[in-house]
Amino acid sequence: MVITKEWFTVDEAAEYLCVSRRTIYKLTKEGRLPALRIGRQRHRRFRREDLDKVPRPGEEDTDSEALLRLSAKTDPVLAEVWDNDKDAAYDRL
């Protein structure tokens, strides 16, 4: 019988993501990793589903929406900064 674990402690979450405990606490504080607080001592527990959404070390963020936000097409101010006469010399490189 295979038992799949749904909830993880801080140590287990750190091992699962291959990061330190400190990184788990940081991700939780930043709101990038939701945690359930249980008991009188308010221990943290993490769902596998939430852990799987966190980028692992070495993985690149390939969110296309994030890339579009930094394009000249979506931001006219960036278009002006990136395309002006002052940096024409760099355009030829």
Q: What is the pLDDT of residue 93?
A: 54
45 or 74: whose pLDDT is higher? 45
Number of domains composing the chain: 2
Q: Within 3-91, where are the H helices?
A: 10-17, 21-30, 48-53, 64-69, 76-82, 88-91
Burial class (CB in 10 A: 0-12, 13-18, 19+), 24: buried
79 lies in which domain range?
64-93
Task: Give the tokens for residue 15.
Answer: 């091992």
Query: Are residues 51 and 81 located together in one domain of the fold?
Result: no
pTM of this structure: 0.57
- Asked if residues 38 and 28 have their Cβ atoms less than 8 Å apart, the reply is no
Query: Are residues 40 and 68 located together in one domain of the fold?
Result: no
Query: Are residues 41 and 27 located together in one domain of the fold?
Result: yes
Query: Are residues 45 and 1 located together in one domain of the fold?
Result: yes
Coil, strand, or helix at residue 49?
A: helix
Measured in residues, the chain has a length of: 93
Tens of pLDDT, residue by residue over 3-60, are 578 999 999 999 998 889 999 999 999 888 999 998 888 899 999 999 988 876 555 5
Query: Are residues 56 and 71 located together in one domain of the fold?
Result: no
Query: Are residues 75 and 54 located together in one domain of the fold?
Result: no
